[in-house]
Amino acid sequence: METMFSASSVSVPREAASTFDELSMQQSLLFSDSLKDLRNLRSQLYSAAEYFELSYTNDDQKHMVVETLKDYAIKAFVNTVDHLGSVSYKVNGLLDEKVEEVSGTELRVSCIEQRLRTCQEHFDREGLAQQSLIITAPKYHKRYILPAGESMLGSGPGQAIANNEGLSDHNESNDSKLFQAVRSTMRDSPSSATRRAPSPSPSLKSRYRSPSRRARSPSPSRKARSPSPSPRPGKFFSEKRAVSPLPTSNPLLRSGSLASRPAISNSLSTVKRYPSAPRKSLSMRMPAEKDEKKEDEENTSRSKRFLKALLSRRKSQRDDMLYSYLDEY
């Protein structure tokens, strides 16, 4: 039963296909027959016209001939119209069918083109991704992206991260202590430039803090230093912070104004120190108040004491390293 059903279901499309082919064949045969009839109609009409002409001239019953001619002309005309209508209808149908086929083919071709374009875009995107992966992103030194307050270790590019990762806790603690000391002294001690130019706004305090720390000036101790500086900053920090006799508030004078330490510049007299712009701006951040004179005097006395201590230890190499460290920051 199932096999019969399947056989019948299989045979149905075949029959449909066969019927479709048969129908198309019949239509094409009818079309060709109608075209042949149209072709033969001309000769038939010419022969009929000749016949009726002869019969009209020869026959006595002309009225009958005319009536027969009329009937024949009407029938021939109707037949011609019928043939022309069927032929034109079939031609129109064929043309519409071909136009539809061409439209379908255009749609397929446009679909293929769209697929090809999509593939091309995908290839381009993949190639661009591969090429962009080849390009290495530029790596900047860590000190340029570190926020204020963090330690900046390493002098060359590429060493910052490694040195920072490889440092011990002891070095980090020493470094942070040194920075805190520098910051506190910078806040506490107003320079002479503070009095020259009043600070425009307190917001400059935070703006000029990091450049003043980063600003470098050729220090005399650094210039007169031997050409063998400490190769490892981490090592240098550990040694320096462990042995340094200077108080933590001493680095203030290194970053202070020029007028606050005339003794050291005169005594060394190797290279003249010029106050850099960040230092000026650092001094500008402090408000010019009159009640700070006492603090200034205390600071000047303190700085003099510190400078004396520095002069006593001027020739020591560790002090040179300290100066170099202070110049770097």
- Where along the sequence are the contacts to another protein (CB under 8 A)? 66, 70, 73-74, 77, 80-81, 84, 88, 91-92, 95, 98-99, 102-103, 105-106, 109, 112-113, 116, 123
Q: Which is nearer to another protein, 30 or 112 (CB)?
A: 112
Smallest gap from residue 157 Cβ to another protein (A) = 38
Smallest gap from residue 74 Cβ to another protein (A) = 8
Q: Which is nearer to another protein, 46 or 123 (CB)?
A: 123
Smallest gap from residue 134 Cβ to another protein (A) = 17
Structure tokens at 83: 């043939």
Smallest gap from residue 26 Cβ to another protein (A) = 23
Smallest gap from residue 97 Cβ to another protein (A) = 11
Q: Which is nearer to another protein, 96 or 298 (CB)?
A: 96
Smallest gap from residue 55 Cβ to another protein (A) = 16
Smallest gap from residue 105 Cβ to another protein (A) = 6
Rounded distance, CA 247 to CA 327, Å?
A: 17
Q: Which is nearer to another protein, 88 or 168 (CB)?
A: 88
Rounded distance, CA 210 to CA 248, Å?
A: 19
Alpha-helical segments (H) within the chain: 2-58, 62-134, 159-166, 169-188, 192-196, 203-207, 209-214, 220-223, 233-243, 252-255, 262-268, 277-284, 293-312, 317-328
Judge contact between 76 and 41, C-beta under 8 A: yes
What is the DSSP code (8-state) at residue 144? Answer: G
Residues 182, 183, 186, 189, CA torsion sign: negative
Rounded distance, CA 187 to CA 284, Å?
A: 12
Q: Which is nearer to another protein, 87 or 181 (CB)?
A: 87
Q: Which is nearer to another protein, 122 or 272 (CB)?
A: 122
Residues 6 or more apart from 164 whose CB is under 8 A from it?
Answer: 142, 151, 153, 154
Angle at 209 between CA 255 and CA 220, to 5 degrees: 20
Structure tokens at 110: 């446009």
Q: For the range 228-231, what are the long-range contacts, defined as Cβ-Cβ under 8 Å and sequence gap of 24 or more?
A: 229/321, 229/324, 230/321
Q: Which is nearer to another protein, 99 or 259 (CB)?
A: 99
